Amino acid sequence: MLILKLTICWGFFALLYALLLRKETFFRANRLYLLGTLLGGVLLAAYSDLLPAPAPVAGFYTTALPAIQVGVQQAEAISSRFDAWDGLWVIYFIGVACMLLRTGWGIAGLLKMVATGNSESSEGGIVLVQHAGISTPFSFFKWVFIPIDGREAPGMQHILAHERAHARGWHSLDIMLVELISAACWFHPLVYWYRRSLRTVHEYLADAHASGLTDKKQYGLLLIRQSQSGMPVAFANHFFQSPLKQRLIMLMKQHSAPVRALRYALVLPLTALFIVLFQKAPVVAQSVQTKQFAEVPAAVIAKSDVPAETPCDKSPSFEGGMEAMFTFFGKNLVYPAAVDGKFSEGTVAVSFTVKEDGYIRDVHLSEADGARMPAAYEAEALRVVSQLPRFNPGMKSCKPAAFELCIPIRFKAGNEKNSAPEKPKELMDVEAAPVFPGGESALMQYLAKNIVIPDADKKTTPVGLVVIRFIVGQDGRVGSAEIIKDGGVGKATQEHLLEIVTNMPRWTPAQKEGKAVSTYFTLPVRIAID
């Protein structure tokens, strides 16, 4: 996703440059444009979600998802598996390492020339370095490298003026910055376009300075004579480096009229418009499956003043439905290592926000009730939830709205494979999850209508997340309700919630291999007393 965003940003800026700025003689402005958009594209792609987003149409809504369970046996299988993505990351970091080694090798070669060559100070703090291994003059930061006895070569004073312009303009700093970004984005073709374009502008700047000291035609002939004088050294500015034809055209071209500088003023609103559209429009093409996406069932929050729903209202849903969500957690969630030979068991509830564009933000632990899981379990739950892909955005009043979701992740050390056949199944083990009559919206309305905080707890019950686990039988009846996380609410409130859950109407039971099966269901309910 980040790569696609980066491609869109850099591609837009490169197109603007090619259409409006490339042929102008405002070389300093073009240098700033290339540097600014190179860095700006990276920042915009990486942090576009930090830009102000449209406010939710009808407020901020909270919802919750069914529990995810992971067992030790599943975790052991996961930890020993080499995923295909791991191979891609290995290839990526090998490429980064090769690019950095290449850069380091080039810098080491230049420093070796400085150490073994004949150096002398020149005007403006420039240091001339004469070395036998040099055939073509070039510069790197404050050093200007020339061949042995190169001062007597024809036109050398103009060549030195060219290289001094590179050194005084700190062009090598630009080059090193581009080299670092190229190492991080070595796979991206546009980063090489930026590197080539920026080096070309450097040559235009140095040519403009050096040609002012002599006749332009004579300077052009000097460029042609030097074109076959040797291969350039990496990471340095060279008298002959960028395409000769382009440099000669720019050398002989009349300076752009001042009025043409208005093109840069045109770039600003176009860029601002692009940023606004980039922020609002979905920039990542999601693969669309042919099957109908299922709504995540039992997305519920308990509060008596839940706003009335319109026909198109819906909570955010995971692409591919609950089965796909469980598959994601099954592949990525790892049971933390045992401490003193024992595995901890319990539930970690993780909350996060699904923004209007479907991307998740603000991943954090839900309210603890005093019986917290060890830090390793909480960290693992936060890590996996933070990697969730884009959701189908939620809707309120028929418009995208931000929702807060909560996923309880239950760590259970027992061996589910040895369970008795009659034991209810976990949601990850069924093909179709149980469904409340009327679906998710009906379940929300049922809870909102029936939950009333008992008077005994109104003064003591804080805002808390209560997690209730129950069984939906083969016949759809609800039973064996228990509270596995009390969120700090009072006993009267807990008993009230258990009563409401137990008295639910019959559900559509879970399905496995075409047959109705009993299954566990975990329901998070957030209690908030105004």
Handedness of CA 277, 278, 282, 283 (dihedral sign): positive
Assess whether 112 and 189 both reside in one domain.
yes
Q: Quick one: tokens of 35?
A: 């540097």
Residue 192: the pLDDT is 93
Phi, psi values for residue 195, rounded to 5°: -60, -45
The dihedral region occupied by 209, where left means phi > 0, alpha psi between -120 and 50, and beta the remainder, is: alpha
User: Do 363 and 470 share a domain, yes or no?
Assistant: yes
Please check whether residues 70 and 87 belong to one and the same domain: no
Do 299 and 402 lie in one domain? The reply is yes
Entry pTM: 0.52
Cα(344)–Cα(21) distance, rounded to whole angstroms?
A: 63
The count of other CB atoms within 10 Å of the CB of residue 22 is 14
Q: Are residues 149 and 291 in the same domain?
A: no
pLDDT digit of tens for each residue in the chain (530 aa)?
678 888 888 999 999 998 988 888 888 999 999 999 999 888 888 765 444 443 333 333 344 455 554 444 433 443 444 455 567 888 999 999 999 999 999 899 889 999 998 988 887 788 988 888 887 788 888 998 888 876 777 777 888 888 888 888 999 999 999 999 999 999 999 999 999 999 989 888 888 888 887 777 777 776 766 665 554 555 555 544 556 767 777 777 878 888 888 888 888 888 888 877 776 554 333 333 322 222 233 333 333 334 444 556 777 888 877 777 877 877 777 777 666 666 777 788 888 888 888 888 888 887 654 467 787 788 888 888 888 888 888 888 778 888 888 888 877 765 444 434 456 776 667 778 888 888 877 888 888 788 877 777 776 655 677 888 888 888 888 888 888 887 777 888 888 888 888 888 989 888 888 888 888 888 888 776 55
- Same domain? 71 vs 145: no
Please give the tally of structural domains in the chain: 2
Cβ burial of 513 (10 Å; 0-12, 13-18, 19+) is exposed
Print the SS3 string covering 51-104: CCCCCCCCCCEECCCCCEEEEHHHHHHHHCCCCHHHHHHHHHHHHHHHHHHHHH
470 by Cβ neighbours in 10 Å (0-12 / 13-18 / 19+) ranks as buried
226 in a structural domain: yes
β-pairing, 403-412 vs 61-62, is parallel
DSSP state of 505: P
Q: Are residues 380 and 473 in the same domain?
A: yes
> 3-state secondary structure string, 301-320?
CCCCCCCCCCCCCECCEECC
Are residue 242 and residue 311 in the same domain, yes or no? no
170 found inside a domain: yes
Q: Is residue 7 in some structural domain?
A: no
* Contact indicator for 519, 474 with CB cutoff of 8 Å: no
Query: Are residues 361 and 333 both part of a single domain?
Result: yes
**One domain, residues 422 and 523:** yes
- And the tokens for 221? 């002939």
Q: What angle do CA 190, 192, 194 make, to 5 degrees?
A: 75
Q: Are 147 and 294 within one domain?
A: no
User: How many other C-beta atoms lie within 10 A of the C-beta of residue 287?
Assistant: 5
**Which DSSP string do the residues of 217-243 spell out, in sequence order?**
HHHHHHHHHHTTS-PPPTTSEESS-S-
H-run or E-run covering 522: strand 519-527
Residues 6 or more apart whose Cβ sits within 8 Å of residue 264 = 21, 26, 29, 33
Domain end residue (candidates: 253, 269, 295): 253
Pick the closest to residue 448 from 505, 390, 372, 525 (CA basis): 525
Which distant-in-sequence residues (6+ apart) come within 8 Å of 496 by Cβ? Answer: 451, 452, 453, 454
- Domain-located, residue 330: yes
In-domain check, residue 503: yes
- The DSSP output letter for 126 is -
CB 131 within 8 A of CB 112: no
CA 115 from chain centre, in angstroms, equals: 43
Which of 206, 229, 253 is where one domain is finished?
A: 253
Are 468 and 482 contacting, i.e. CB atoms less than 8 angstroms apart? yes
56 assigned to some structural domain: no
Q: Is residue 31 situated within a structural domain? A: no
238 and 297 co-located in one domain: no
Q: Residues near 175 by Cβ (< 8 Å), separated by ≥ 6?
A: 195, 198, 199, 202, 235, 236, 237
pLDDT on residue 61 = 38
Please identify, among 253, 273, 302, the residue that sits at the C-terminal boundary of a domain: 253
Does residue 161 lie in a domain region? yes
**Domain that includes residue 318, residue range:** 61-81+286-527
